[in-house]
Structure 1
Amino acid sequence: MTPRTSVFKKRRLNLLVPSINSQHYFGGIHTAVQVFEAMATHFEASRIILTDSPPDDAALARFARYSPVASAQDSIADAQVVSFSDRYGKTLPVAPGDHWLATAWWTAYAAQRVAAWQESSYGAPGKLAYMIQDFEPGFYPWSSQSALALATYRPKQDLGIFNTSLLADYFASQGLDYVRRVVFEPTINDGLRSALTHARVSTSPRSRRIVVYGRPSTPRNAFSLICEALRIWGWNDPRSNQWEIVTPGELISDLDLGPVQLKALGKLDIDNYAELLRTSAIGLSLMVSPHPSYPPLEMAAFGMEVVTNSYANKDLSTFAPVIRSTFDMTPEAIAQALSAACDAWDERAMVPAWIMPENHAFLAEQAFGPLAAAAAHKLGVVSRGNV
């Protein structure tokens, strides 16, 4: 990302994010935008810079208050969205008052270099916050990509905004203890709250259904390990033919695993996903990373017996009594955990033993305002309300 000088005079927060299109606008990107918009209230102007995909019409409509601006323009609009995925031979206007909020590691790599350019061009380096939502070097084999991802972690220079204290603590254990950091904890999707209230008062038995969080395209979700564990469970547990196994999300066709079938539900809207959790008994969700991921937490909230994995300092069995978190990530150990979950339901005649209580931290309203204020303060930004 090549910068050029700009006449823009205001203090501006810039979000570098791969895409805001609907097929990408979930999970980490959605959370990053929420944090950005909360932080932007402490700035005079804001700009979204799209590094990987140009925005489609639906995305621009969703971000209607942001003016679409070409990188060739040095616009004075207070809220801008700039498509910079096709950047060969192009430059981006950067002013002395531009601050940066990076997301994926390659956006941090770009922002760090632009911040250094600000020092050589304007006499002071740009200030940078890094939204850290996983340990991204682990997304790759040892390689150029993993080395560059690791190099973007600068704990003595940048502000780290961590998605969960588990992840922040993992970074510290790896010698990446950020001098300036803020942390937020996961909370349940608001679209699940109504169904959870219903689940809390329901006395109906659950269906003999296992819900699998399957993402074949994402290695850290260990889909092949899940499939092998289901095969072993199917061969070894005589009750397996009594259970339905389903997976919402990526898988678009059913999968024959030998003794059991994995039924593909495709992508579900939030209401259908909530109903699936409310009526199902067991969840199987793996994440080979220090971040907990949201599916096992959502499953547990509804009282499902959840089989997941531990990793380094992550042990989700402390999060809820219905989570079985195995340190042994072999298909045999996961299959045994599934059988133990079946035993638990059989002993209770398919009635849940626990539904997440209303005062659980996961059910708190997610308010990024205090975190945004703390982040702005740590960047040395005086709130507009205090100017």
Structure 2
Amino acid sequence: MTIFRIARYLEEFGHSVSFLIQNPSEHKSGEAARVTINTHFQPFNGKVELFSGETPEASGDALIATDRFTCYPVEAMGGFFRKFYFVQDFEPSFYPVGSEYLLSEATYHFDFDCLCAGEWLNRMMRERYRRWSVSWPLAYDASVYGPGDGTVKRSDGRIALYARYVTSRRAVELALMALDILQERCVAFEVDFFGWDLGHLDVSYGYRDHGVLDGPQLAALYRQAAVGVVFSATNHSLVNKEMMACGLPVVDLDLETVRAIFPEGCMAFAQPTPEGIADRLQSLLEQPQQRDALRTAGEAFVNDLSWEKSARIVEAALRERVSLASSQKAAP
């Protein structure tokens, strides 16, 4: 969604944008893929091409890799003034240390300029890998996520928990163990699981298994819950900003990746253990004044964010680096 959103804004800013989809598995034609982009993601008018095997013939000002897999064809392609890496996470951490980890990390040594989702990734690309890098913030769609009209009453014991357990970095198991501890402590709560279908759980506390929700459904949930829980053990998630925009106090893991983005006071930082998470949740559930303080600070933190502003940062970086490469190429 973030890739398509930035592409949409670049189009609105007057740029010509095309997508090259590597090793397609869902679509038989570029036009079919473009229909999917417009139907399920963002408006997009540009050309979409599919490729596998040999890299396609293409040319332009900027060529942007969007993950470690696409870095390899981008590295092999010519015809562009400058190449970029749209870095949304530290992808080596998606794998055990071994071949896939090393092949992922190798992409950070390619001569790409890095467009990083947040300051933690930006610092890593600059300091560890010596890349030219710029940071743009993950934002939220203010037309969907906001405090609402105030007519919906929040439940004091309702926890909205991002439960995409199929993605290891979401650390859902830690949250589930923390909930068991809360139950043992006789804390009153119920849970709204979302992000993936969990099915039946052998637990004694009340819960709802929402599966995958769309934006308006998520916003409605965030306006009803007392506490939001979303973990990411690598780069931070944009879900917590969407929660904050809806006035929902957020619990995330006390990690460098999170601290690099969120200042003290706008989020409840939990030690990344079942007990540490349970302690944080219990404190918030039992002390509404803590929730109120986090709600106010969280809303203030995200108030100035917008996808258009983030896209403008990406645009400025593209212009700067392409212009420099163009002038260097033209110099005698």
Superposition TM-score tier, normalisation by shorter sequence:
0.7 to 0.9
Normalising to structure 1: TM-score of the pair?
0.71
Q: Distance in 2 between the 1:47 and 1:353 partners?
A: 41
Instruction: Choose from 181, 184, 187 the match for 1:235.
Output: 184
Instruction: Choose from 164, 174, 189 the match for 1:215.
Output: 164
Report the aligned-residue RMSD. 3.3
Q: Within 5 Å, give how 1:153-302 maps onto structure 2.
A: 153-154=108-109, 157-173=111-127, 175-178=128-131, 180-193=132-145, 195-199=146-150, 204-236=153-185, 238-240=186-188, 243-257=189-203, 259-289=204-234, 291-302=235-246
Change (3 A) 1:46 1:80: same
For residues 265-305 of structure 1, the C-alpha deviation after alignment (integer angstroms, 9 at most, x for no partner) is 1222222211111111011111111x221122222333333
Change (3 A) 1:108 1:93: closer
Instruction: Choose from 47, 59, 63 the match for 1:100.
Output: 63
Amino acid at match of 1:112: E
- What does residue 61 of structure 1 align with? 35
Q: Distance in 1 between the 2:279 and 2:292 partners?
A: 21
Q: Distance in 1 between the 2:169 and 2:231 partners?
A: 8
Partner SS, residue 258 of structure 2: coil
Amino acid at match of 1:196: P
Amino acid at match of 1:333: G
Amino acid at match of 2:191: I
Q: Distance in 2 between the 1:222 and 1:134 partners?
A: 16
For residues 68-120 of structure 1, the C-alpha deviation after alignment (integer angstroms, 9 at most, x for no partner) is xxxxxxxxxx9431112xx24xx3442564641000111012211224xx6xx
| In the alignment, structure 1 residue 48 sits paired with structure 2 residue 1 | no
- What does residue 374 of structure 1 align with? 317
| In the alignment, structure 1 residue 141 sits paired with structure 2 residue 82 | no
Change (3 A) 1:81 1:263: same
Q: Distance in 2 between the 1:255 and 1:262 partners?
A: 9
Higher helix share: 2
Larger radius of gyration: 1
* Cα offset, 1:212, TM superposition: 0.4
* Cα offset, 1:354, TM superposition: 3.4
Q: Distance in 2 between the 1:192 and 1:249 partners?
A: 17
* Cα offset, 1:142, TM superposition: 0.6
Normalising to structure 2: TM-score of the pair?
0.81
Question: Residue 148 of structure 2 contacts residue 223 of structure 2 at CA under 8 Å; is this kept in 1?
Answer: no
Change (3 A) 1:362 1:183: farther
Q: Distance in 2 between the 1:93 and 1:108 partners?
A: 14
Give unpaired runs (5+ residues) of structure 1.
1-25, 65-77, 119-124, 383-387
Q: Distance in 2 between the 1:378 and 1:33 partners?
A: 18
Change (3 A) 1:55 1:80: same
- What does residue 355 of structure 1 align with? 296
Change (3 A) 1:295 1:245: same
The sequence identity of aligned pairs, in percent, is 22
Give unpaired runs (5+ residues) of structure 2.
39-44, 327-332
- What does residue 14 of structure 1 align with? none
Q: Distance in 2 between the 1:317 and 1:172 partners?
A: 17
| In the alignment, structure 1 residue 365 sits paired with structure 2 residue 306 | yes
Q: Distance in 2 between the 1:317 and 1:47 partners?
A: 31
* Cα offset, 1:210, TM superposition: 0.3
